[in-house]
Every structure is written in structure tokens, then in C-alpha cells.
Amino acid sequence: MQFELTREYIQNLASLVEAKDTEQILTIFNSLHPADIADILEELSHDEARYIFFRLNPTLASKTLAELEDDKIERFIQVIPTNILASELIEKMDSDDAVDVLQNIPKHIASEILTNFTDKEYQHEIANLLDYNENSAGGLMATELIRVNINWDVRTCLNEIRRLSKEVENIMLAYVVDDKNILQGTLPITQLIINHEKVKIQDIYQKDVIAVHTQTPSEEVALIMEKYDLFVMPVVDGINRLKGRITLDDVLDVVREEADKDYQLISGITQDIESSDNIFRQSKARLPWLFIGLIGGIFGSRIIGSFEGLIQEYSGLALFLPLLAAMGGNVGVQSSAIIVQSIANGTIGLESISQKIFKEFLGGLLNGLVCSSILFLYNVLFGRDFALTISVSAALFSIVLFASVFGTFVPLFLHKIKIDPALATGPFITTINDITGGLIYFTTARIIFGYL
């Protein structure tokens, strides 16, 4: 039932383009969903994609443009005259899609397109929307909605829907406002069907409405719509005037992007990349964390270097160096991940920072005890030198404890000073733990070898 993109399909299209068989190409594309067309264009070469794009009818081309990945839009924008872009493509989009496209192209081109809009009212609307922060409710909302006055009756509302039904997609409810556009409540469309034409809106509308401010951050918008299972939510300004509405599909994108970002941060990737991106783009996103790891490792080597005498005397100490570093890294990443994830999902709970750290300290005691006991048993069974056995187990215990507390503290601290706590996961925590791990290990060993 769904469209499936295969390599054969792409090869077939490429040869149709080469043969310039426009008729055949249009037959194929006119029956496809714009989201599928966008997928196809992204797999074709620049020239092939452009050949097809320019032959689509304007409505389909406009919808396809709105579906393209942010970083793929520019290759079409650049080669189309701005007046055509404005009147034929961008102006036909829903306001939130139009804003999305304009935000993802160079500012001077966006301005030029905007100046070329033929519908001046829509032009002002889009210009206003572009003023909102991209990551706020204002940046997410669309202005297309059904607005009804609280003094109207059902009949007037139905007429309003008839008037706007072509402009507004996915109509589930109407927004009830007073004469000053102050949001009063909502009215599910089904209420208009159930009730008689003469019934007054004020007698049937729902007063309790969950709305957000234009400046509410996107992630908070997502958490609210998710929590209350809303498909659509109104956006208001400081004096509760209705500004727009956010639909759940946009929030789904926010959740996906946020999750992707956190996942990439924990895996040491600094920019949003995909496996299909080219090598240089990938390296650019990967090298910064590798570089930090390298610096951390060099620091670590200097710390270990200051214990070189100890290593020369007891070379067995070197054997457990990677194990201890890895365990510290693993524990630290686990701890920070739990906190980062709970903050992102709004499930952080009401415990204070010190309560959380104390809890993690207890958890670290437990995990440290289990892990160091296993390592102790292993070393005893395999007849390692007793001082080494004691040193390694004691160091592991201390490292697990330190990494637990440190991994919990850093993201909580970052969150408190309003820096994205996800920055504290992955390579950062691993690197710090590598360095402190070495220090803890050899200090412990020096003490123990000194005494025994």
C-alpha cells in the first residue's frame, strides 16, 4: 500500500530523465504523494532532480518543496527566479511551511522572495511569523485556523468553515474569541453538527483550553501536547490574543529532532548528520569530539607519565589501565544519560539536586561493590600479585563511585544554569573519567604498594 523506494526505481527514473521522456515522468509523479517525490528527488543527482522538479505543476512543486529536507532546499531555490519562487511556490504553502523554507535559506534570498509576494496580506503574516524564534511556539505555529466569535450562532460558524475550508487543513475544532480576538475557548466541529443552527456558541463552547505563549520553547510545547494528548493547541500573546495554532505533526518533528540531537551528542557527534551525508560533512561533525578526546587522552598520558617510575617497577599495573578507564566512562555515561533523559521527558521528579546526588552515591556504592568484587575474585583466582589485586579493586570501586556522582552532578548543574544538559553526556564525561580514573588508580596503587 505504501510507496517503496528502490535502487531499480531510481535507475529507471534516471534513464527516463536521460531520454527526456517528460510525459512518462509526469504520469509517474502526478500520482505520487509530495513526501515520496521529495524522497525520490533527494536520491537523484542535482541535474536529474532539477529536470523533474521544473516539470511538476506548481501546486505539486510547492508541496514537494515543503517536504524536502532542510539542507536540500537550497539547490532548487538557487536556480529559480525569486518572483516565481514567491508567487508560484512559497505563497501557496501553509504559513508554517513557508516560514520553514524561508528560515532555511540565506537571509538575503528569503527577503527577496518575501518582497515578491503578490498577496500582500499573506506577505505581512509571513514577515510577522519570521520574527519569532525558530524554537518557540511562535516559530512552530501556523496562522491558518478557524476563528469564530463567541457571539455567533452555529449557522454563522458553519458558514465560516465553508468559507475557509479550502485554506485550512485538518480542521478538528474552531477557536472561540471575543471581539478583541482574546481566546475564550474551543469548539469541536462535531458540536456544530450535533447542535441546531440557531444555538449560540457561548452555550456550547469549551471554556477550559490549554494554550501556550508565542515564546514558549518548542520542547515545552511538545511536552504539553504529549501530556494532554492534544492534536492541536492554540498559541496566544501576552494579553491572550489568539495568534495561531500548533498541530501535533509539527510537535512530532520537534520530539524527533530533540531525540536525534541528544543521541548524537551522547555518541560524540556535534551536528545533525545522516549516513547518506558525504564524508567531509560527517568528518566535520565527528572531529570536534574526537579532538576533545585526544586532548583529554594527552592530559591523561601526562598524568600517567608522572607515575612512570611506579609502572617500571610494577609493570602489571598497566594491564588494568584500559579496563578502569572504560568502566569509569561507562558508569559516568549511564549516570548522565539517566538525568539527561529524565529532564528531556519531564520525568525528573521533585527530588532536589542533593537528594539525587546522594541517591546516585548509594547506587554507585552498590554498583562499585559488585564490580570490584568480581574483579577481585578474578584476580585472586588467577593468582595475581596481592598488592596489584587490592590496588585494582580499590581503584575500580573509587572510580565507579566518582563517575556516578560526577555523571549525575554535571548535567544537573548544566540544567540549573540553563545550558543543554545533553552536552555533558558521551565523550565529555568519558574523557573526564579517563583522566581522573588514571589519577585515582595510580594514587591508590602508590599507597597500597607503599604499604604492602
Contact range with a copy of itself by CB under 8 A, out of 74-82, 134-142, 196-204, 287-295? 287-295
Contact range with a copy of itself by CB under 8 A, out of 18-26, 84-92, 108-116, 315-323? 315-323
Cβ-based nearer residue to a copy of itself, 150 or 353: 353
3-state secondary structure of 306: coil
Question: Within the chain, what is the greatest distance between any pair of CA atoms?
Answer: 96
Contact (CB, 8 A) for 294 and 309: no
Binding residue for a copy of itself, selected from 89, 187, 266, 448, defined by CB under 8 A:
266
| Rg, the chain, Cα only | 30
Cβ-based nearer residue to a copy of itself, 84 or 374: 374
Is residue 268 part of the contact set for a copy of itself (CB under 8 A)?
yes
3-state secondary structure of 315: helix
Could you tell me the CA-to-CA distances from 130 to 75, 123, 234 in Å, in that order?
22, 11, 18
Is residue 304 part of the contact set for a copy of itself (CB under 8 A)?
yes
Inter-residue long-range contacts of 324-327, CB under 8 Å, 24+ positions, other chains counted: 324/392, 324/395, 324/396, 324/399, 324/437, 324/438, 324/441, 325/300, 325/433, 325/434, 325/437, 325/438, 327/371, 327/396, 327/399, 327/400, 327/403, 327/437
Mark residues 39-58: x for contact with a copy of itself by CB under 8 A, - for none: ----x---------------
CA separation for the pair 108, 379 (Å, rounded): 67
Is residue 244 part of the contact set for a copy of itself (CB under 8 A)?
no
CA separation for the pair 171, 194 (Å, rounded): 16
Binding residue for a copy of itself, selected from 20, 46, 227, 416, defined by CB under 8 A:
227
3-state secondary structure of 372: helix
Cβ-based nearer residue to a copy of itself, 114 or 141: 141
Tell me which residues in 347-406 interact with a copy of itself (CB under 8 A): 347-351, 356, 359, 362-363, 366-367, 370-371, 374-375, 378
Going edge to edge, which strands form the sheet with 173-177? 147-149, 173-177, 183-188
Compute how many residues bind a copy of itself; rule: CB under 8 A: 124
CA separation for the pair 289, 5 (Å, rounded): 34
Binding residue for a copy of itself, selected from 88, 144, 237, 260, defined by CB under 8 A:
260
Binding residue for a copy of itself, selected from 49, 56, 204, 337, defined by CB under 8 A:
337
CA separation for the pair 192, 186 (Å, rounded): 12
107-115 vs 95-103: helix axis angle to the nearest 10? 140
Is residue 322 part of the contact set for a copy of itself (CB under 8 A)?
yes
Binding residue for a copy of itself, selected from 246, 393, 438, 445, defined by CB under 8 A:
438
* CA proximity to 220, closest of 258, 174, 182, 266: 258
CA separation for the pair 55, 176 (Å, rounded): 43
Is residue 287 part of the contact set for a copy of itself (CB under 8 A)?
yes
Is residue 294 part of the contact set for a copy of itself (CB under 8 A)?
yes
Mark residues 7-46: x for contact with a copy of itself by CB under 8 A, - for none: x--x----------------------x-x-------x---
Tell me which residues in 92-151 interact with a copy of itself (CB under 8 A): none
Task: Find the shortest distance in angstroms from Cβ 446 to a copy of itself.
Answer: 15
Task: Find the shortest distance in angstroms from Cβ 452 to a copy of itself.
Answer: 20
Cβ-based nearer residue to a copy of itself, 113 or 415: 415
Is residue 186 part of the contact set for a copy of itself (CB under 8 A)?
no
Tell me which residues in 403-422 interact with a copy of itself (CB under 8 A): none
